[in-house]
A and B are shown apart, each in its own frame.
Chain A
């Protein structure tokens, strides 16, 4: 067969802008795998998560860091995301091998596109699009929420005092970037 090569072109690859001291960028090689807890076997799955990632799955609306800088986000009673860095398109088999079949896993890497917002303007900018209360008392480091911003579903995770990881659908990446950038421009 002929030599055809597939090139990876994630939609927001290379986005990196500064607005004063606040940085907006698309993290490289973000991998996301969903973990579904089988009905009736949740305890075994939680155990497998603990041994696979070295961390307990947190309560819904929270995230924790596990081995190899993997962030475990609990989205609901029977669903979680593992978010980590991996360039190759084999994130799902990787997580499946860590969990040894104790959970249903689905590759979500290309379903989403990610933006990191880090700096003193982050919260002020998000005020323009995010209905969630991001006051540190209400949304502390590690907190995670799925919500809607400018008609787009967004998973927002506070990764630091002034840092937020935003995930939204990859097909609408352009609108998503525009929404966040406009917010930053409007508050700069």
Chain B
């Protein structure tokens, strides 16, 4: 296809040609083109279909505010929906397809919706799909869902990568138009650290779209020269293709940089980077967005904003047609006529709603004053316009200008409310800006070039002043104050045909009137009822006209009806960019135990525990399933010796003259009396008296303790200890530091544990029961002088030790322990066997200490000392928490020993109905005990300790199970604790 609408000039590189595809047809463009400009140049005005009525639509704007020209870009898994053709830089081989049609773009089957439009007005589905009720799920919703939505996902994993980053600056300048460039230049020459971010690939903003002069050169040249100077400075980071999408607290801004979107092949580098910019100050120079006027059939391809038509002609050397009419309510619209004429495009008429003389003298251009366009003809492209005076004028395009709205969006991100300016007929930033932000240029209502430049400089100077940086004098380039007169004129009342306000959501003037009639009168309700201002463009071109029509209907002014404000993001941010690197296996960091490598080599399966990967069992040849391995491991530990990596338990090194007294305060039981070289079990309460955590704490020296916490609470216990140390008892000499990762710690459990350790621990250390009894601890050396810590503690209930070595030796230590244990048929065991053995011993874990249970419930009430101050002791004594008939922790076994117990089952007395009123408690943990040969469980049941031998029912409606269980002691194995003291 030839570039039949390509005209002379422009900022495109004609020496190079780019081939691209749209709807499987090949086109040609040039570097410097966007997809939209290249399609226009090729005469392809029809670019998509509308959301609801499937009306043919063409490109409407030249920027990120585009409501119509949304395309699927790229192929296969790379396909991205809702890409704005106006923001896509052309690259070789680009492949785009249009959206929102069934069948081809030209012949869309769903265009039938347009004929049903009388039934599809605002809120139609609230009214239409009410009954019969059963139809909603089966018919209405699936049909609506299949027809609705913008674009389609590829449903494949995104093959691109994304990154995040952090930037810091004195001054962030948002927008590289004239005021932004001037602000950045002022700050940069003054030595401040400056970031200048702009969503376009070419700095300059409207300077690249206009024929304005400044400083004796073209605006484009000045922009390029200024950008070059900024780019060459060490204290400046110039960020094109970067949208600042959100203003957050304390000068933090979110920005999305599109790194490889403009390349045919982005290689292996991140496609986009989500930046968090920490600015001390910011200047928002986001410019302004033009708005349309609503009139009959104002949505046809070829009808575009006047500023966009000018931009395509001047910057991209493309025109939507050869005969382009202009319809305006302001002086700026006339610039489009002037620039088109200068490019040799015929402008058959300028229709100005104002009954005033032409602000620009354009020989040969008909001026119709005080009239408006009320209708257009031409389904897939405008063919003629009908004026309010009845005249029909043949055209192939129409440029519409309804005035310009300052881009106040980021000023609202912290609930700032814009204020109305009558002279501009637009909202401008209000007084309550985000802290540290100033607004300059068109975004602030300084609509002329000279004013924008001056304000950019002034705001930058003021911001630097606030930072104590003296601005270096920089001459303002000479520029003019072009005419910007405008009138409030929002829609053409004489129009009998549907007049679109929001093109993206197919909201018409009639819909807004209907919403008002039906009582949806606040702007917030109007928005939600009609969907005006929603979706990808967030109503950038439509909102004000909608508000104006609502105000008119209600007989009020626009400031009286108010405006909806804006939230981040300013333009859409891909979910992939928000996720950054955090996907798949990199979703979060993982932690490995010191013996991980050995475990991998020895058949371990791993389970995720928080961020840790722990061995859950070690499969040996011939084992058919996990139970085989777990049963063997648990039996081995009870009959010989088992070895388990328990490094994940939190370890906190506690030192200080007041360390013992401090532990008395944070544990329910007493530690100041613990002897050096001994370990004690400790129970920690929350201040409300609920059990929080438990573990053992060893006293290595008079002023030196090592606390262990559960794996899950390692971080939060540390946090609470610091709270106690700093906020509650600030004058205690106590010091905390985590050593969790520093020591590889192994449980060596079973009757042969001492024999095994004798082979590893250096001979001078006496391991006899007398020298190193149950609950002893101390420093030892292993394998010929390597430092280690030994604790005689037991979670399994067997004679057991935990031995800790510096983590660097952990993998080797696991190998050594197993090698040394070979003669006893030692086996490593994982978390499952650990769990089985602790249930056999009635030890609590998170299942029991679940944030709802008290020391009284777990039958450790006596541990809560009332003789000394400790966290939780007072509220733990509340009557409800110590009532006699409270649930108590006991053991359970099935009456029919072949039955499997299910944790989560609730207990009911034998004849009681299965409802909450008769609930007696619940099963917290259940496992098969290979030592007993049947299932066992732990659980809470009312007054359980007094009900030994009673038979109750364990009911799980979730599993549909019910069985009889017997209440027994929670200590299934060695209830007297003889083994662990042996």
Q: How far is the CB of B712 from chain A (nearest CB, A)?
A: 15
Interface 9-mer from A15-23, A51-59, A127-135: A127-135
Interface 9-mer from A2-10, A62-70, A114-122: A2-10
Residue B612 at the A interface, CB < 8 A?
Answer: yes
- Set of chain B residues within 8 Å of A138, measured between Cβ atoms: 168
Q: Within the assembled complex, what's the spacing in Å between the Cα atoms of A43 and B164?
A: 44
Within 8 A of A (CB), among B435-456: none
Q: How far is the CB of A71 from chain B (nearest CB, A)?
A: 18
The binding surface of chain B is classed by DSSP as: mixed
Residue B119 at the A interface, CB < 8 A?
Answer: no
Q: How far is the CB of A133 from chain B (nearest CB, A)?
A: 4
Q: Within the assembled complex, what's the spacing in Å between the Cα atoms of A34 and B655?
A: 12
Residue B92 at the A interface, CB < 8 A?
Answer: no
Q: Are A108 and B737 in contact (CB under 8 A)?
A: yes
Residue A160 at the B interface, CB < 8 A?
Answer: no
Given A39-B656, A79-B737: A6 in contact with B816 (beta carbons within 8 A): yes
B167, B612, B743, B809, most chain A CB atoms within 10 A: B809
Given A34-B737, A39-B731: A8 in contact with B808 (beta carbons within 8 A): yes
- Set of chain B residues within 8 Å of A40, measured between Cβ atoms: 733
B167, B168, B742, B762, most chain A CB atoms within 10 A: B742
Q: Are A150 and B589 in contact (CB under 8 A)?
A: yes
Which of A5, A169, A186 meets B270, CB within 8 Å? Answer: A186
Q: Are A104 and B655 in contact (CB under 8 A)?
A: yes
Given A6-B813, A151-B588: A1 in contact with B735 (beta carbons within 8 A): no
Given A34-B737, A106-B655, A169-B741: A128 in contact with B164 (beta carbons within 8 A): yes
Closest B residue to A89 using CB positions: B806
Using an 8 Å CB-CB cutoff, how does the interface string of B254-274 with A read, 1 for contact, 0 for none?
Answer: 000000000000001110010
Q: Are B269 and A39 in contact (CB under 8 A)?
A: no
Q: Within the assembled complex, what's the spacing in Å between the Cα atoms of A23 and B732?
A: 45
- Set of chain B residues within 8 Å of A11, measured between Cβ atoms: 592
Q: Are A108 and B742 in contact (CB under 8 A)?
A: yes
Residue B740 at the A interface, CB < 8 A?
Answer: yes
Residue A110 at the B interface, CB < 8 A?
Answer: yes
- Set of chain A residues within 8 Å of B593, measured between Cβ atoms: 171
Q: Within the assembled complex, what's the spacing in Å between the Cα atoms of A176 and B653?
A: 24
Residue B805 at the A interface, CB < 8 A?
Answer: yes
Given A6-B782, A34-B737: A90 in contact with B589 (beta carbons within 8 A): no
A3, A170, A171, most chain B CB atoms within 10 A: A171
- Set of chain A residues within 8 Å of B586, measured between Cβ atoms: 175, 178
- Set of chain A residues within 8 Å of B166, measured between Cβ atoms: 127-132
Using an 8 Å CB-CB cutoff, how does the interface string of B661-705 with A read, 1 for contact, 0 for none?
Answer: 000000000000000000000000000000000000000000110
Within 8 A of A (CB), among B270-324: 270, 273, 276, 278
A7, A78, A173, A183, most chain B CB atoms within 10 A: A7
Q: Are A2 and B656 in contact (CB under 8 A)?
A: no
Q: Are A104 and B740 in contact (CB under 8 A)?
A: no
Q: Are A104 and B656 in contact (CB under 8 A)?
A: yes
Residue B106 at the A interface, CB < 8 A?
Answer: no
Given A6-B809, A8-B809: A38 in contact with B657 (beta carbons within 8 A): yes
Residue A111 at the B interface, CB < 8 A?
Answer: yes
Q: How far is the CB of B39 from chain A (nearest CB, A)?
A: 33
Q: Are A36 and B763 in contact (CB under 8 A)?
A: no
Residue A159 at the B interface, CB < 8 A?
Answer: no
B276, B655, B732, B782, most chain A CB atoms within 10 A: B655
Interface 9-mer from B462-470, B500-508, B559-567, B783-791: B783-791
Q: Within the assembled complex, what's the spacing in Å between the Cα atoms of A104 and B167?
A: 38
Given A135-B168, A174-B590: A110 in contact with B735 (beta carbons within 8 A): no
Q: Are A151 and B783 in contact (CB under 8 A)?
A: no
Q: Within the assembled complex, what's the spacing in Å between the Cα atoms of A129 and B810?
A: 30
Q: Are A170 and B733 in contact (CB under 8 A)?
A: no
Q: Are B653 and A106 in contact (CB under 8 A)?
A: yes
Closest B residue to A133 using CB positions: B168
- Set of chain A residues within 8 Å of B783, measured between Cβ atoms: 4-6
Q: Are B759 and A4 in contact (CB under 8 A)?
A: yes
Q: Are B737 and A4 in contact (CB under 8 A)?
A: no
Q: How far is the CB of A126 from chain B (nearest CB, A)?
A: 9
Q: Within the assembled complex, what's the spacing in Å between the Cα atoms of A135 and B647?
A: 39
Residue B961 at the A interface, CB < 8 A?
Answer: no
Which of A36, A109, A185, A186 meets B737, CB within 8 Å? Answer: A36
Q: Within the assembled complex, what's the spacing in Å between the Cα atoms of A7 and B704?
A: 28
Using an 8 Å CB-CB cutoff, how does the interface string of A136-166 with B read, 1 for contact, 0 for none?
Answer: 0010000000000011100000000000000
Given A1-B758, A6-B782, A135-B168: A176 in contact with B656 (beta carbons within 8 A): no
Q: Are B703 and A89 in contact (CB under 8 A)?
A: no
Q: How far is the CB of A140 from chain B (nearest CB, A)?
A: 15
Closest B residue to A75 using CB positions: B737
Given A108-B742, A109-B806, A110-B741: A2 in contact with B759 (beta carbons within 8 A): yes
Closest A residue to B809 using CB positions: A6
Q: Within the assembled complex, what's the spacing in Å between the Cα atoms of A151 and B590?
A: 10
- Set of chain A residues within 8 Å of B608, measured between Cβ atoms: none
Closest A residue to B164 using CB positions: A128
- Set of chain A residues within 8 Å of B866, measured between Cβ atoms: none
Which of A4, A106, A151 meets B739, CB within 8 Å? Answer: A106
Q: Within the assembled complex, what's the spacing in Å between the Cα atoms of A109 and B743?
A: 10
Closest B residue to A134 using CB positions: B168
Using an 8 Å CB-CB cutoff, how does the interface string of B802-814 with A read, 1 for contact, 0 for none?
Answer: 0001111111110
- Set of chain B residues within 8 Å of A172, measured between Cβ atoms: 589-592, 611
- Set of chain B residues within 8 Å of A128, measured between Cβ atoms: 163-166, 273
A3, A109, A128, most chain B CB atoms within 10 A: A128
Residue B752 at the A interface, CB < 8 A?
Answer: no
Within 8 A of A (CB), among B141-200: 161, 163-168, 193
- A–B complex contacts, Cβ < 8 Å, 7 sampled: A39-B732, A89-B808, A109-B808, A110-B807, A128-B166, A174-B592, A178-B586
Beyond A1-B762, A108-B742, A170-B741, list 4 extra A-B contacts (CB 8 Å): A5-B784, A9-B809, A40-B733, A170-B807
* Among all A-B residue pairs, the 6 with the closest Cβ atoms: A175-B589, A36-B735, A110-B807, A104-B655, A39-B733, A171-B591
